[in-house]
Each structure stands twice: as C-alpha cells, then as structure tokens.
Amino acid sequence: MKILLIFPGLHHSLAKKKRRHKEFQLIGTTLPTLAALTPPDIEVEILNEYNHPVNYETDADIIGITVMTSHASRAYEIADEFKKRGKFVVLGGIHPTVLPEEASKHATTVVIGEAEGIWEELLKDFQNGRVKKFYKAERFPLPHEIPIPKRGALDPKSRGKRLFSPKIEIMQVSRGCPYNCDFCCVTKFFGNTYRFRPVDSIIKEIKSLGKIDYLFFQDDNIVGNKAQAKEFFKKLIPLKLKWAGGTTLGTLQDDELLDLMNKSGCITMFVGIESLTIPFAKNRTYLEDRLEYYYKTIEKLHNFKIMAYASFIFGFDTDDTKVFEKTVRFAQDACCEGAAFHILTPYPGTKLYEKLDKEGRIFVHDWQYYDGEHAVFHPKLMSSKELEEGFEWAIREFYSIKSIAKRIWGSRTRPFFAIPWNLFIYFDRKFNHQ
C-alpha cells in the first residue's frame, strides 16, 4: 500500500505573477507528521509542488492533500484530477476544517482538525473498505501524543536546488495559542488550548536533524507558556543552535526569558504588532503610550542581541491611507531588521469573516486571493485599490536600499544575518514580483 501526500503550490493564475524562490518554500511539519502517524508497512511519499510537478500517473493508493485557504483553489484542482482517475483523495488542514462540506465536493473523505488518532482510523477503514465521508477527533491530542515528524518521507526532488542557500529546518514544539484574535483562525483548528510538547521529545527531534544552519519554530506562539519555554531554552543552550521563532510583545518584558533566548541561540523573534492605529485604542494618550511600548520592546530585543521581525496588518476599520507611511516610518525608526506586511484577510471561520460577510463588504470569494496580499473586502476608510497600492508601497519602501542601510546601521544587531536577508527580499520584490 502506498500514500502520496501533497503540499499544493499556488493556483496557476497567481503563480505566473508571483514567482518564488523554490529553496525557501518549506512545507512545515504537517505532512511529515502524517507520515510519522502512518504504520511502517505502508509506503509514504511527500511531494512539495513548489519544487516538483504532481505526477497524476502515480501508483499511490491514497492521495492526501493539505489545504490552506490561499492554496484551496489549486488543491481542489489537484484533487479533482486525481478523482477523475479513480483515486482515493483525502483533504485536510485548516480550510477543510472550517469548510468541510465545500472540501467534500472535491474529496473522497475529509479530515477535520488535527490528525492524531483519526489518521490511523482512516487508514484502517480504507484497508477494510468502509471509509466515512468525514473524520473528526473527539478531543485534541495530548502533547505526548504528537509524534516526531518523519522528514525522510519527503521526495528529494521536492526539496529544491540549494546552491548557496543555508540548510533550514522547521519544527513545531507547541500547538495552539492562548489568544483568540478576530482575524486569526488558529483557535478554530487547535481550539482554545495551548499544548507544549515534552521537552525531551523536542530535544530528541532536534538531535535527529543532523547538521543544520538554522532552525525555525513555526509555533503560533513559542512562549505561550513561559515556564515551559524557559525550561526548553535552558536545554537548548548546549546544542549551540541558531534559531528563530514568534511570540507576542507582552511575553518579551521578561529579562530572564530574553537572556535564555539569547543564550540558547535565538537570532530573530517574530512579533505581532499588527496595527499602529490600534482598533481598540481608548484615546490618543493610550495610543501614544502603546507606541512607546512598542519602541521599548524592540529596543529590549536588540539589547539581548535578538533581531526584531515585526508583523503588520493593513485594512482595519481604523486605517486610512496615512497608515502605510506611519507604519513604515515606525518600523524604520525602531530599526526593525525585518517586517512582514499583510492586507487584512477575512479567512473563513474567523469572527472577522462573519462580521464583514454580515455587513456585505466581502466582494471576492475566490480563495486563491485570500493570501494576505489582495484586498478581498471593502475597507472602511479607503478603497480596496488604495489598500493594495499602499501595501505594495510599504514593502518597497521598507526594503529599499536606503531603508535597509538606515535600519541595520541603527540597530547593529547581527548585521551579517540582517543584511543578506534584507537584500534577498529587495531583489525578490524587484525581479520576482511582476
């Protein structure tokens, strides 16, 4: 018996406009985790479509496709083609979890939520010829039930060509987030829980990776539980790694935590600032105090030799056309080594989607445009065109040569890491986005 697990690429209509560097299209831990949950007597192959085309003539018995909302259109195309050929198709991931009925139109069966426990059940049912249309776990898996991903199942051709690019591995040490933001669908998938894997299991997984240049923790919040995070960072210190992760600004007020991050090899921390107009701001004084808090937190990261990679979202009801320059100037003045800019996107399953849909403001329903780079709803204080143009301007301005020089010189935090990364994004936007 053989299973082919697929990480779909972009829909062809967007892929032509947004060429990506293949060696940086890492697929995360979802599919390797499924491979680890699969009995050893079943052959598993993982394919990353960004790096290798889908072979519709495969002899695999089961086709499994993980589906994010922005990849749903392409995932459905792949699924439909395999179904035409009589293949057994399984769809899972965040998008099928929030829209299982839609996904079922393109699949033989749909996995809702996390796979631990139900993936094994599905495979047994397949072998016994009694599969169900939907599979959903009755509870969330406990931390010790989450296996170490089986990365060896990834097709070598799917890794892309690495001429000079560093060897980067992705790990996930926890699931869930203690927060429940209106625009985020994490809790829809992982529930209102935060589960940190046993530290010994995490260390064992890291040691199994061999020699790597960088380790990226894809957790929604690696410091969702401070006590567990501190224990983990202490055990990371002897491994002498270089790593990056993400958390909230609030957790970064703890100097002991920051010191452990630094000593354990943290070089970059992704922090969600999201909005400078602060949709929940009570008054101007509150807003000014909050901005000062942002500046001081980023300065604190720099004091511990950790680069700040800030995340911003444009399109809140409090945002007008001035928000783009205001945000970029803040990120430059704070000397952020990096910044991720996004257009507010009402992902299905979120409170934001329910609100905007009820107000009749969503005008794009093609999932391929739900990628954080397109305006799919009517903003309140600007047009959708102004939102997209402002978003593009922010990226160009922040990653301009002048801006890079100003920020890196002002920060002086790990310039030999910050400069190449900033230049990579500069040239990527200049030549690979048409």
Reported CATH class of domain 155-431? alpha beta
d(CA 72, CA 69) in angstroms, rounded, equals: 5
**Domain extents for the chain?**
2-143, 155-431
d(CA 260, CA 257) in angstroms, rounded, equals: 5
Q: Band of the pLDDT at 22, cuts 50, 70, 90?
A: very low
- The candidate with the shortest Cα–Cα distance to 222, out of 265, 262, 172, is 172
Domains 2-143 and 155-431 in one fold: no
Do residues 233 and 222 touch, judged by C-beta distance below 8 A? no
Q: Band of the pLDDT at 172, cuts 50, 70, 90?
A: very high
pLDDT number for residue 25: 59
Report DSSP letters for 282-326, one per residue.
-SHHHHHHHHHHHHHHHHHHHHTT-EEEEEEEE--TT--TTHHHH
Q: Band of the pLDDT at 400, cuts 50, 70, 90?
A: very high
Report DSSP letters for 130-192, one per residue.
---SEEE-SSPPPGGGSPPP-GGGB-GGGG---SS---EEEE--EEE-S---TT--HHHHH-S
Q: Band of the pLDDT at 152, cuts 50, 70, 90?
A: confident
To the nearest 10°, the Cα dihedral for 274, 277, 280, 281?
A: 130
Choose between 224 and 397: higher pLDDT: 397
Do residues 69 and 348 touch, judged by C-beta distance below 8 A? yes
pLDDT number for residue 349: 92
Tens of pLDDT, residues 283-301:
666 667 888 999 999 999 9
Amino acid at 164: F
d(CA 95, CA 407) in angstroms, rounded, equals: 37
Average pLDDT over residues 369-375: 96
pLDDT number for residue 335: 96
User: Model-level pTM greater than 0.85?
Assistant: yes
Pairing relationship of beta strands 194-196 and 214-217 according to DSSP bridges: unpaired
Do residues 411 and 337 touch, judged by C-beta distance below 8 A? yes
Neighbours of 294 (CB within 10 A): 19
pLDDT number for residue 282: 58
CA–CA distance from 211 to each of 23, 168, 240, 420 (Å)?
18, 10, 11, 21
d(CA 307, CA 302) in angstroms, rounded, equals: 6
CATH of domain 2-143: 3.40.50.280
Residue 21 has pLDDT above 50, yes or no: no
